[in-house]
Chains A and B, each alone.
Chain A
């Protein structure tokens, strides 16, 4: 059935093994790629919990092919207090170096203090603000070690934290004291429908040296379920957008989960504020993320085994200025609606494609699935004539893009395979000729090494050609600014496929393909012929689109079964 087959790949998709303790979208995304789960140490990719990294990673030797989803000291960015500390430090360094303009760009985090260690400075600041007449300034207390909005509270009178302060656990010298950060509360957030919201945006870092970042086009805005009230600072439903908190609200809507995807949010903002202003805001958000990672670039221990998917929490104020709330190293991959489920599975699928365990990518791709490369050593600037300043919140054309990438990769791999075959034949025949020549030379005087050199140079040419074919251009024609149909309400959750069945199907197809195709014949076909044949077959088998398409993608290690089915 399939002509472009497994043998073209260094790593066959179905031989890859994963390990994870998560039982949510992560497991589903792994299964959709037909990778095998393992409990042992023979994994190719591990989606570990943060704790595993801290406890086990330093004592484990990783194989060169193994990939893991956290950097060793990711907490330098993802722990609330350390993130602020590093951002402050980086800003100071820039000021010291005389880069005042760059330093001024680090204005996206609120005034923050670490408690209990910085309590005296905080108290001074608090008093100063009160004496300035800013009596209504609210502050937010966040425990450092907790997530999902646990332990957070807001106050505007110092007495309100006296109870917390007087607890036994609060003691500067007590190592057991629960650390908090206290931040100036952003009191004028942008309200939509009278409700507060924050944005969750996904950023993938595959390397800190050089800093390589991919930004996912789709994120979401999480709304509170109650109207915002600046006076009522005790009601957490009004102020905290965490799904974990909002879920407990009486009028929590399970169907929509209190979320807008980023495209819908952008559409709203564009309608309300105009394209120019929104484009600027979204570009600022992108730069905020790049700058955050640049601030810790030299602190994070770079490791070729590691990658990290960050969940950035960003708040917009009434002037559309983005504020960084926090960075999550383990953004929730549990879904609360079918749309959310598809978003997260698609996101993870694209992460796996970028990690490239199959080793099929060139590394020059500017877009992979819903991810756009935004930084490689330095931030990537879009062409001047581009209608976009950032692809964040643009139409997520991941399905089409994956198909394109799969097609071009298939052609390249087939060509490379053909070239290596030809090379092998050439080397074989050359070896024979050389042997004959050597024999001749043995008989007479020789110029052997020169001939050898010529042979090597000659074999380099086809490789250069294939490289030309691999340069992929970003296609912007498929990027309507306001496309939002993908995530409209009637996207239905597809039934999940049984992993066992999928494996059986693949094995069957593999055996079919090996039966049908004579490998010698196949190697003689040009890449284009193969592709044509593939296209023809897909036409013949149009009544089994699911099977055909999924096999195509499975071999490529791209796309996901259910989504392909949906699209067709």
Chain B
């Protein structure tokens, strides 16, 4: 018998109806806690000589079926109390915003477009308070001599390991048509997480991204379900919420971006559904706010479990370049937010959290470009203040949509947000000569107000430039 390679075996396996039946059986069996007919599987596997592949497949299905618990408590107690404080603060902000909108209704001439509960600057300012608190309460004997904005004792990966991990991107080249076709076929036939991640790490051809994402999130055979769920949520949108108003205001900003203004309506619809989606709480990997309701407040947290923040629309916008179907856009956005972007807004010691990402950036910049780091500190524009917007919003609005989607590929490829660290470092290195000439914060702002074009590959190159 002719020896087949793994890929061919897998493709052969998937071509048979039995494969899908067994997959269904295994999935159902696990979910309903019934015993799986091992004999059936074994018999089948033996007859096809694909036992190894089947083991791989079963472990994949089990991994997928395992319900992921939302992270509610952090291992560092200090961060748990901070999250409660952050939530309280946001409730206060909500009251102020509500008051402002009331005033606006009464006085049409007073139109304040800055109506949001919090933005990335508020978040950074809050993170900054940790330094003093932690030093006062927990580490009284430790002398904090660092110039870093954030210096909290949380477990961090070594910066070098992160840099090493993404170094392969430097060698990425545009692929020829035949290679693209091969990858295309691979995406069409592949179902295993590990394999899809490998593709995402290297190169996803335009036009195939949507399918890859759908397969990775296991939506590829569930379009009808997705559509029905979305239709239900859309119906619920007929009940107006105060948050809808904030989302509409948020959408105005995206409508000024040439690339996204066409999608303003779709983005708004997605977000209105998102804050009403009860399944978010179950699916989100980390709790954004503690959920405590402050007494005497008029509003509660939305059903989704967190407050909509400024520029939330940005996260939906690039996904509109993947599909013309709004329910697909919504499903992809929901998965991206619940798996990854939620970490950019949570007070946590997790590796993906905003706190860890910020500290990693500071660490790399201060060791690899100490002159720049010091200069920025002196002129009152700390590294993090400069980069926070790009970091929190994944460079959306700073790069063209295809480049943003390449970032999304990398996020999926490594199941991590660490690529943002590389890009932020690259971004600072790119503008380093100009930044070193800046004499004050206004100069810095001027540099970034100029017309500029940042590209994914370019920033990666700059990140590794000494």
> Which chain B residues lie closer than 8 Å to A275 at the CB level?
205-207
Choose, from B100-108, B148-156, B317-325, the stretch at the interface: B317-325
B321's partner among A190, A195, A268, A488 (CB-CB below 8 A) is: A268
A193's partner among B256, B265, B322 (CB-CB below 8 A) is: B265
Q: Is the interface of A mostly helix, strand, loop or mixed?
A: mixed
Contact call A489/B256, Cβ cutoff below 8 A: yes
> Which chain A residues lie closer than 8 Å to B264 at the CB level?
193
A274's partner among B205, B257, B400 (CB-CB below 8 A) is: B205
B400's partner among A191, A194, A484, A491 (CB-CB below 8 A) is: A484
> Which chain A residues lie closer than 8 Å to B405 at the CB level?
271
CB of A204 closer than 8 Å to a CB of B = no
Assuming the contacts A267-B401, A489-B256, A490-B451, asked whether A272 and B262 have C-beta atoms less than 8 A apart, the reply is no
**A123–B258 CA distance with the chains assembled, in angstroms:** 45
Contact call B321/A272, Cβ cutoff below 8 A: yes
Contacts of A255-285 to chain B: CB distance below 8 A: 255-256, 260, 264, 267-268, 270-277
Contacts of B409-466 to chain A: CB distance below 8 A: 451, 453
CB of A533 closer than 8 Å to a CB of B = no
CB of A111 closer than 8 Å to a CB of B = no
CB of B51 closer than 8 Å to a CB of A = no
> Which chain B residues lie closer than 8 Å to A277 at the CB level?
207
> Which chain A residues lie closer than 8 Å to B266 at the CB level?
193-194
Assuming the contacts A194-B326, A485-B453, asked whether A264 and B258 have C-beta atoms less than 8 A apart, the reply is yes
CB of B261 closer than 8 Å to a CB of A = yes
Contact call A256/B451, Cβ cutoff below 8 A: no
Contacts of A314-370 to chain B: CB distance below 8 A: none
Most chain A C-beta atoms within 10 Å of own C-beta, residue among B205, B265, B323: B265
> Which chain B residues lie closer than 8 Å to A268 at the CB level?
321, 401
- 1/0 contact string of B228-261 vs chain A (CB within 8 Å): 0000000000000000000000000001111101
Most chain B C-beta atoms within 10 Å of own C-beta, residue among A194, A223, A253, A489: A194
> Which chain B residues lie closer than 8 Å to A487 at the CB level?
258
Assuming the contacts A253-B255, A255-B256, A489-B257, asked whether A272 and B322 have C-beta atoms less than 8 A apart, the reply is yes
> Which chain A residues lie closer than 8 Å to B265 at the CB level?
193-195, 227
> Which chain B residues lie closer than 8 Å to A424 at the CB level?
none
**A489–B449 CA distance with the chains assembled, in angstroms:** 12
**A260–B321 CA distance with the chains assembled, in angstroms:** 14
Contact call B262/A223, Cβ cutoff below 8 A: yes
Shortest C-beta distance, B294 to chain A (Å), equals 37
**A487–B405 CA distance with the chains assembled, in angstroms:** 21
- 1/0 contact string of A182-198 vs chain B (CB within 8 Å): 00000000111111000
CB of A482 closer than 8 Å to a CB of B = yes
Closest to A318 in B: B324
> Which chain B residues lie closer than 8 Å to A255 at the CB level?
256
CB of B208 closer than 8 Å to a CB of A = yes
- 1/0 contact string of B384-425 vs chain A (CB within 8 Å): 000000000000000011100100000000000000000000
Contact call A274/B207, Cβ cutoff below 8 A: yes
> Which chain A residues lie closer than 8 Å to B205 at the CB level?
274-275
Contact call A271/B402, Cβ cutoff below 8 A: yes
Contact call B258/A270, Cβ cutoff below 8 A: no
Contact call B206/A271, Cβ cutoff below 8 A: yes
Contact call B208/A274, Cβ cutoff below 8 A: yes
Assuming the contacts A264-B259, A487-B258, asked whether A274 and B206 have C-beta atoms less than 8 A apart, the reply is yes
> Which chain B residues lie closer than 8 Å to A491 at the CB level?
451
CB of B203 closer than 8 Å to a CB of A = no
**A273–B206 CA distance with the chains assembled, in angstroms:** 7
Closest to A484 in B: B400
CB of B263 closer than 8 Å to a CB of A = yes
Contacts of B207-221 to chain A: CB distance below 8 A: 207-210
Contact call B321/A271, Cβ cutoff below 8 A: yes
Shortest C-beta distance, A515 to chain B (Å), equals 40
> Which chain B residues lie closer than 8 Å to A270 at the CB level?
206-207, 402
Give the contact-size bracket for chain B: 20 to 34
Contact call A193/B263, Cβ cutoff below 8 A: yes
> Which chain A residues lie closer than 8 Å to B401 at the CB level?
267-268, 271
Contacts of A379-406 to chain B: CB distance below 8 A: none
**A491–B258 CA distance with the chains assembled, in angstroms:** 11
- 1/0 contact string of B302-345 vs chain A (CB within 8 Å): 00000000000000000011111010000000000000000000
Contact call A271/B262, Cβ cutoff below 8 A: no
> Which chain B residues lie closer than 8 Å to A276 at the CB level?
177, 207
**A2–B37 CA distance with the chains assembled, in angstroms:** 90
Contact call B402/A272, Cβ cutoff below 8 A: no
> Which chain A residues lie closer than 8 Å to B262 at the CB level?
192-193, 195, 223, 260
Contact call B207/A267, Cβ cutoff below 8 A: no
> Which chain B residues lie closer than 8 Å to A223 at the CB level?
262
Shortest C-beta distance, B183 to chain A (Å), equals 11
Contact call A260/B258, Cβ cutoff below 8 A: yes
B258's partner among A194, A272, A482, A488 (CB-CB below 8 A) is: A488
Contact call A482/B451, Cβ cutoff below 8 A: no
- 1/0 contact string of B175-214 vs chain A (CB within 8 Å): 0010000000000000000000000000001111110000
Contacts of A1-46 to chain B: CB distance below 8 A: none
Closest to B209 in A: A271
Closest to A487 in B: B258
Closest to B404 in A: A271
**A485–B453 CA distance with the chains assembled, in angstroms:** 7
B261's partner among A253, A267, A274 (CB-CB below 8 A) is: A253
Closest to B207 in A: A274
Closest to B401 in A: A271
Closest to B262 in A: A193
Shortest C-beta distance, A223 to chain B (Å), equals 6
**A390–B256 CA distance with the chains assembled, in angstroms:** 30
**A372–B410 CA distance with the chains assembled, in angstroms:** 38
Closest to A270 in B: B206
Closest to A485 in B: B453
- 1/0 contact string of B260-285 vs chain A (CB within 8 Å): 01111110000000000000000000
Contact call A256/B258, Cβ cutoff below 8 A: yes
> Which chain B residues lie closer than 8 Å to A194 at the CB level?
265-266, 324, 326
**A136–B405 CA distance with the chains assembled, in angstroms:** 39
Contact call A272/B256, Cβ cutoff below 8 A: no
- 1/0 contact string of A207-249 vs chain B (CB within 8 Å): 0000000000000000100010000000000000000000000
Shortest C-beta distance, B273 to chain A (Å), equals 15
**A487–B259 CA distance with the chains assembled, in angstroms:** 11
Contact call B322/A488, Cβ cutoff below 8 A: no
**A490–B448 CA distance with the chains assembled, in angstroms:** 12
> Which chain A residues lie closer than 8 Å to B257 at the CB level?
489
Contact call B207/A273, Cβ cutoff below 8 A: yes
> Which chain B residues lie closer than 8 Å to A484 at the CB level?
400
> Which chain B residues lie closer than 8 Å to A195 at the CB level?
262, 265
21 residue pairs A–B, Cβ–Cβ below 8 Å = A190-B324, A192-B324, A193-B265, A195-B262, A195-B265, A227-B265, A253-B255, A253-B261, A255-B256, A256-B255, A271-B401, A273-B206, A274-B207, A276-B207, A482-B400, A482-B402, A485-B453, A487-B258, A488-B451, A489-B256, A489-B257
15 new A-B contacts, CB < 8 A, other than A271-B209, A271-B405, A272-B210, are: A190-B324, A193-B262, A193-B265, A194-B265, A195-B262, A260-B262, A267-B259, A268-B321, A270-B402, A271-B401, A272-B324, A273-B207, A275-B205, A275-B206, A485-B451
Instruction: Give the 7 A-B residue pairs with the shortest CB-CB distance, closest first.
Output: A274-B207, A193-B262, A193-B263, A271-B321, A485-B453, A274-B206, A489-B258
Interface residues in chain B, defined as those with a beta carbon under 8 Å from any beta carbon in chain A? 177, 205-210, 255-259, 261-266, 320-324, 326, 400-402, 405, 451, 453
